[in-house]
């Protein structure tokens, strides 16, 4: 955990080995539950091959301490400061996506000595450019009054290329990641921010990535970021999903790894289970205890525990809930 200036703690997690690559997250995050979504886990594992990937939950989200104060860019920068100081990292590469892109670019402009290379995906310089005023007001109102319906709508907007199971898991993940008040406040910050005046101060080599059909953040704002940051390279990718792990994530990973001078990956990290392990995972997703698993499968309770332990080790999970979420996301027709 890292400490904010006000004493609240920010949770962070490390994956892989090598020079540090800090991920500045999008709208909402949950370190543990995000890892249980196969697409998100594989995306992060691909980035962490040859790098120590640093992910964190912003204040009031995921595993970080609750936070009831105002949502400001200063707070966002304080979270990055807290994490980098906890790591003892005077300089590192930074990858900011969605809301994390303007935050990361602002950090790079104010703390240029700390950023070696900067990657921005699906971002914007001016929040007012995301849709029109009526649509922004409608989304904020829907989230505030119908949290479940609001997350379903935003999931369809953020990840139109995801299968039904993954969309369901993503919507549940958002609802578990924060309170409705925090979600609304963060989305309002995304709409209100304007980092355009600071972008000319970014000195790190910068790669800007944006999908042409992004339905949540217009590609025109990716072009604005690239035009305003001195020497930035812009790559427009095919696709319409806003979440980096959904859609053609392989192309995105390839561009990031090339920019960071990392070798291309030969294959994706396997996450398949044996037929028996898949059967056990399905029963875990149905809420069965180890004793009930044993009775259903006609095995001893100790054998059921062993099956579950091997599943957790294979998938890199720590809890039954992660196994359940993984299975639900993997099986779209459940």
314 pLDDT tier (thresholds 50, 70, 90): confident
pLDDT tens per residue, range 194-232: 999 999 999 999 999 999 999 899 999 999 999 999 999
CATH fold for domain 2-259: Rossmann fold (3.40.50)
Over residues 29-38, the pLDDT tens digits come to: 999 988 888 7
Res 331: pLDDT: 60
Angle of CA points 11, 94, 186, to nearest 5° = 55
Statement: 275-329 belongs to CATH 3.40.50.970? no
Calculate the alpha carbon distances from 74 to 5, 26, 99, 134, 267 in Å.
Answer: 11, 16, 14, 27, 40
**Domain ranges in the chain?**
2-259, 275-329
**Domain 2-259 shares a fold with domain 275-329:** no
What distance in Å separates the CA atoms of residue 151 and residue 277, rounded to the nearest whole number? 31
For residue 301, is pLDDT > 90? no
**What's phi and psi for 248, nearest 5 deg?**
-80, 70
DSSP conformational letter for 160? T
């Amino acid at each position: 955990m890292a400490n904010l200036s006000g004493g609240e703690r920010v949770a962070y997690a490390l994956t892989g080995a090598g020079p540090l690559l800090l991920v500045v997250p999008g709208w909402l995050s949950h370190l543990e539950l995000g890892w249980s979504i196969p697409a998100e886990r594989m995306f992060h594992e691909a980035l962490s091959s040859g790098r120590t990937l640093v992910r964190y939950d912003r204040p009031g989200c995921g595993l970080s301490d609750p936070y009831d104060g105002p949502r400001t860019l200063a707070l966002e920068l304080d979270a990055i400061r807290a994490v980098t100081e906890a790591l003892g990292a005077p300089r590192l590469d930074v990858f900011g996506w969605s809301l994390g892109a303007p935050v990361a670019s602002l950090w790079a402009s104010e703390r240029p000595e700390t950023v070696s290379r900067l990657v921005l995906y699906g971002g914007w310089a001016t929040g007012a450019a995301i849709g029109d005023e009526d649509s922004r007001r409608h989304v904020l109102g829907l989230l505030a009054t119908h949290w479940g319906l609001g997350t379903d709508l935003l999931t369809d907007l953020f990840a139109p290329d995801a299968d039904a199971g993954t969309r369901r898991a993503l919507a549940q993940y958002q609802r578990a990641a924060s309170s409705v008040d925090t979600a609304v406040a963060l989305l309002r910050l995304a709409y209100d921010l304007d980092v355009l005046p600071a972008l000319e101060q970014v000195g790190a080599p910068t790669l800007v990535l944006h999908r042409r059909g992004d339905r949540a953040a217009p590609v025109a704002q990716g072009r604005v970021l690239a035009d305003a940051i001195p020497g930035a390279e812009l790559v427009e990718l095919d696709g319409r999903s806003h979440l980096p792990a959904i859609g053609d994530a392989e192309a995105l990973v390839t561009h990031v790894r090339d920019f960071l001078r990392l070798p291309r990956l030969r294959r994706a990290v396997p996450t398949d289970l044996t037929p028996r392990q898949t059967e056990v995972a399905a029963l875990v997703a149905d809420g069965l205890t180890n004793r009930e698993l044993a009775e259903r499968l006609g095995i001893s309770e100790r054998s059921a525990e062993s099956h579950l332990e091997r599943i957790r080790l294979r998938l890199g999970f720590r809890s039954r809930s992660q196994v359940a979420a993984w299975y639900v996301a993997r099986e779209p027709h459940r």
